[in-house]
A and B are shown apart, each in its own frame.
Chain A
Amino acid sequence: MRAERFRQVDGILGAALEKEEGERASFLDSACAGDDELRSEVESLLAAHGRAANFIESSAMEVVARAAARQVDNDRVGSSLGPYKIISLLGVGGMGEVYLAEDLRLNRRVALKLLPAAFTDDPERVRRFEREAHAASALNHPNIVTIHEVGRDDGDHFIATEFVEGRTLRDLIAEKRLEVGDALSVAAQVAEALAAAHRAGVIHRDIKPENIMLRPDGYAKVLDFGVAKLTGRDAPPPGARQAPSEEARTGAGVVVGTVAYMSPEQALGERLDRRTDVFSLGVVLYEMLTGEHPFRGATTAATFDRILNHRPPTPNVGGPVNDTELGLVIRRALEKDRELRYQTADELRSELKALQRALDTSPSASGEGNMAAAHQSRARRPLRLTTVAALSSTLLALAAFVVYLALRPAGSAASQAAPSAPSLNFTQLTDQPGQELYPSLSPDGKALVYAARGASDGWDIYWQRVGGRNPRNLTENSPADDIQPAFSPDGEYIVFRSEREKGGLFVMGATGESVRRLTDFGFHPAWSPDGREVAFSTEGFSDPGSRRPSPSAVWVVNVSTGERRQLTDAKTGDGAQPAWSPDGARIAYWGKHKGGQRDIWTIPSRGGEPAPVTDDAAFDWNPVWSPDGKFLYFASDRGGSMNLWRVPLEAQTGRPTGPPEPLTAPSSYAQHVAFSRDGRRAVYVNQVSSTNIFTVDFNPYKERITGQPVAVTQGSRHASGPHLSPDGGWFVYSSQGERQEDLYLVSRDGTSPPRKLTDDAFKDRGPRWSPDGKSIAFYSDRSGRYEAWTINADGGGLRQLTFTEGPSVAYPFWSPDGSRVAYNRSAESCSIIEVGKSWQGQTPHRLPDPPDRRMEIFWATSWSPDGRKLGGWVSPESETPGMAVYDFETGGYERITDFGNSPVWLSDNRRLLFNYLQRLYIVNSETKKFHELLPPSPHRVSGYGLTPDGRTLYYGLAVKEADVWLLDFD
């Protein structure tokens, strides 16, 4: 009978599923013919069908294996992760396992949080999280748990933080309701932490009692800044808006971030700002005071509904505090409309402090009064929070003073001129994918222009209101790259560098109209304060490490006449990126001197002797004068990473009057500073970069990639120019892009951690495996200049191959039989030496310069597997760039493309991979047909090749993310 009924239901269900959704109801009307039970049976199955789209679509093997993967791996105790030795398991939560560990480098205990793989599946999400966590790691506040490191080890993503001994606020309120004074103290401390984080542009997004640690001494410490981003808690699951009953489940039945502390805007999936944290803190405060949650319903849907639509009753704490006042504070923190809420955490904090003061001065606060007796039924105060809060504000004052000391001008004259230390606020202004560079603020500080890569892949100049979110492309009519915009002092014009019409500087109106040429060369334009002249340099750079060897000179051009004069020359030395002093008397710039040292100089704007501002090994660049003329701001890596610095100097002479001081922007790499006219605001660029190795399936016949790229390495390090060993087992790469450039080996599938081959201050680049897989050729400055070297795959047998004079050596590579190595030098064609012979015992065989004079010289990067040809390109300075093949038999060259460089032969001796504008192509050297291999991406390809079977393509991918931040001097 039951089976019969099942068949009946099944038949109608099957027929209903074939119908359009709109037609199902009327179909069921007739098919069930008044049998209500039958109909509801079918309807429940139809509903289930609608929700079961992904149900059991993964095979059981995967489900069980994933579940097993999530089980706590106790084996980890005693093991090591990077420099951390794991001591014990502290806990397991939705955000992964937390261990107590020891940092073996510093002998300190840390809390080590391992992120679950489910959250690290999406590389884009991980990258966003890392960016956020790096910003959070710069937060230094007594009420914020310090993030020591965000890292990866063999695919494990971890966060190492300060280890806080204590309990979570959750544990505490589960036990007892807090005293009013304690609750206010905790809330005020959390508000302080939030205010500091918000100033640095970091939103917490997941404030709840689980994320607040209380130390026995009364300190409240907020955990997990920026982590919520990884859980996707800032973006509820699709459909949450309509049917918020489904939780943001993240697998294994663990609900990450209960919805109960979400702000209404968070519940609705809207874009979040700092005010979401204010709301969540309001919920926590309510719960601390009453022991009850203001919105929690029996189901998630009910909780959502209450967050969105219900106002909780005013808590009646009955203590020595005015319930009405307290009620008003809570009510304002819990306003549904964020416009009506406290606009900043600071605002809430000062109200909480006022309540605390009122409490402290009330007669019953001593604990002897009637009110205390009324509280006898409550548990004894677990913590002496109030006292400790007082201590904490002392520490805060002390910390503020230290900041003041760090920022205050060193010279006595200057310190009189600076009555108070600037307090700095950092806000992120742009967050488009890819890089936003060269920001310039309008004189009133309300708008900015910057260069970014648009949809067309070229660089354009964008205008954006400070705080606005709709960039406007000012140069979309020009297909050429437009970069380095600068607002004129009156805000009416923008001068910029453009590649249009063979390149130069151009001027346009502030909204992109009436473009006209100013010069036919030059980069980095800077207006004189009177707006009559523009200083610029002959060379342009987005970062100081990527400079071409050609020297740069500073010029000045008259905006109305176009007359120009040269300010620096061979005698004064290299000069780039000029900036005027506010009185127009001097121009600051940076130059490359003394074997690569990058220092800052100033020179009278009418010409004269340059005066040094810095003279040390740090990379100093990007000088900008503060509008009051007292400081020169610049970017420097003198603090370990590239950040913003300033040095006080004398306006007339340009001589520094004190040592450089750090501004310490919350950034791993800060550059490109520009000020508003009043000097109260500045913009700068925060840059994050990494290079990782990817592999992707490749069909050599169709010459197409056929799968999804798989990351071999990952993280924020640089694995540049990878080359796969002949047996296909190991990649060798250079950490070019990092401060220390060493060679590394990593296994083909990336399962073992990368192994260092070299480890020293010398720059090792361009590694290439020998055909027998035993040694690696590369070029390095370890002899004082770049020469070709080899090293054994086990790290031994370091040997210098070339001992040249003049132009340095680059890109060595092997002949297929391993007996010879070819290399290139900047001003001459490729040369070949025999590896078996000493340098003295042989004469390098230099290829003939191409007979076609326009081709000038030939640089090679790959030897055809049959040994008969070299693939290379003609020097990029030539009139007609492009790639060519040199034939040993004929001694002649054959041009194969009019663009591109760094070709790599395929095993068929016919086709070559190459790169053009940092994108990967394949070309047939016989038919000269070429096409692009990877889908469009703003990222740069660095090093590529095929696995020995020709079925997998590998490449290094350099990702650069750069956003504009605002710096407010209050």
Chain B
Amino acid sequence: MTDPSTHEVTELLAAWRGGDKTALEQLIPLVHAELRRLAHRYMGRERAGHTLQTSALVNEAYARLIRWEDARFENRAHFFGVSAQLMRRILVDFARSRRRAAEGPARRVSIDVALPVACDERGADVVALDEALEALADLDPRKSRIVELRFFGGLTVEETAEFLDISAVTVMREWAKAKAWLYRELSAEKESGDAG
């Protein structure tokens, strides 16, 4: 299925990178539409079997927004980086606005939403993760970048490796350590929050 917006998104990304700040304003509604479309699929309407392929669903959403082959960048990899950064910005803003709109902290947008029901994970929200990622960037920019690419940009390990020009094994190692650090930071924050 081709979507008319796909082309548009690619153009806007290029424009934004070229310094056109208004491009972002135009990008946001497109990403939001995609989010809503995805959310709609996740709502009651989600077909039982589809959930086995949620990653396919998400990949589809990313692909609809960003068509790599159309990108007029130095190479595909750079395009990844730009879009991951943008996605981070838009998604965190979106989550932040939702958080404000919702009543009370119980409705915070929680990362463990996406986790399997039986998973014994602690929650952390996208906004808090964004903040923790800022802190991580000060200490270890590469780890922060890997998380940005993978979590916000939806890139695979191989794509991340291609963009950063490091080996996939290194991406895996850094990813594991970054996750541990972020997880610890977020649970510590949560615990102190709970106590107060």
Contact = CB atoms under 8 A, between A and B. Distances in A.
Contacts of A13: 177, 180
A375 B179 CA distance: 58
B36 interface: yes
B119 A237 contact: yes
Interface residues of B, number: 72
B189 interface: no
Interface in A698-726: 707-712, 714
B91 A253 contact: no
B126 interface: yes
B40 to A, nearest CB: 7
A512 B178 CA distance: 62
Contacts of A712: 47
Interface string B19-36: 000000000000000111
Contacts of B58: 58-59, 61-62, 65
A63 B114 contact: yes
Contacts of B196: none
Interface stretch (A152-160, A450-458, A925-933): A152-160
A711 B49 contact: yes
Interface in B101-152: 102, 106-124, 126, 129, 138-140, 147, 150-152
A731 to B, nearest CB: 14
B47 to A, nearest CB: 5
Interface string B42-58: 11111111111111011
B39 A65 contact: yes
B180 A251 contact: no
A49 B180 contact: yes
A66 B51 CA distance: 12
A639 interface: no
Contact of B139 (A3, A248, A253): A3
A232 interface: yes
B62 interface: yes
Nearest to B136: A6
B181 interface: yes
A121 B35 CA distance: 19
A61 B113 contact: no
A237 B43 contact: no
A155 B110 contact: no
Chain A contact patch, size range: 35 or more
A115 B48 CA distance: 13
Nearest to A76: B44
B113 A63 contact: yes
B53 A10 contact: no
A122 interface: yes
B179 A56 contact: yes
A48 B187 contact: yes
A250 B120 CA distance: 9
Contact of B49 (A44, A123, A157, A251): A123
Contacts of A248: 118
Interface in B86-102: 87-88, 91, 94-95, 98, 102
A55 B183 contact: yes
A69 B176 contact: no
B61 interface: yes
B38 interface: yes
Contacts of B81: none
A843 to B, nearest CB: 48
Contact of B109 (A63, A155, A239): A63
Contact of A66 (B39, B124, B173, B177): B39
Interface in A1-25: 2-3, 6-7, 10, 13-14, 17
B113 A70 contact: yes
Given A17-B176, A120-B48, A750-B47, A44 B38 contact: no
- The listed residue with most B CB atoms (<10 A of its CB), out of A2, A59, A154, is A59
Nearest to B116: A54
A114 interface: yes
B26 to A, nearest CB: 19
A63 B115 CA distance: 9
Interface string B155-169: 000000000000000
A67 B113 contact: yes
Given A45-B180, A68-B98, A6 B129 contact: no
B63 to A, nearest CB: 11
Contacts of B51: 117, 121-122
- The listed residue with most B CB atoms (<10 A of its CB), out of A65, A123, A154, A714, is A65
Interface in B168-196: 173, 176-177, 179-184, 187
A56 B110 contact: no
A61 B154 contact: yes
A61 B120 contact: no
Given A54-B115, A239-B120, A250-B117, A61 B38 contact: yes
B151 A69 contact: no
B42 to A, nearest CB: 4
Contacts of A412: none
B73 to A, nearest CB: 21
A115 to B, nearest CB: 7
A117 B91 contact: no
A55 B121 contact: yes
The 10 A-B pairs at the shortest CB distance, nearest first, are namely A156-B44, A58-B114, A69-B42, A65-B38, A49-B180, A710-B49, A48-B184, A246-B120, A52-B183, A155-B45
Interface of B: 34-36, 38-55, 57-58, 61-62, 87-88, 91, 94-95, 98, 102, 106-124, 126, 129, 138-140, 147, 150-154, 173, 176-177, 179-184, 187
Given A49-B177, A61-B38, 15 more contacts: A54-B115, A55-B183, A59-B151, A62-B38, A63-B111, A65-B61, A66-B39, A117-B46, A123-B49, A155-B47, A237-B120, A249-B121, A253-B123, A707-B53, A711-B50
27 contacts: A6-B140, A14-B173, A48-B180, A54-B115, A59-B153, A60-B151, A60-B154, A61-B38, A61-B61, A61-B154, A62-B55, A62-B58, A63-B114, A65-B38, A73-B43, A117-B42, A117-B51, A120-B44, A120-B46, A154-B45, A155-B46, A237-B119, A249-B117, A251-B114, A251-B117, A253-B106, A709-B49
Interface of A: 2-3, 6-7, 10, 13-14, 17, 44-49, 51-52, 54-56, 58-71, 73, 114-123, 126, 154-157, 232, 235, 237-239, 243, 246, 248-254, 694, 707-712, 714, 750-751
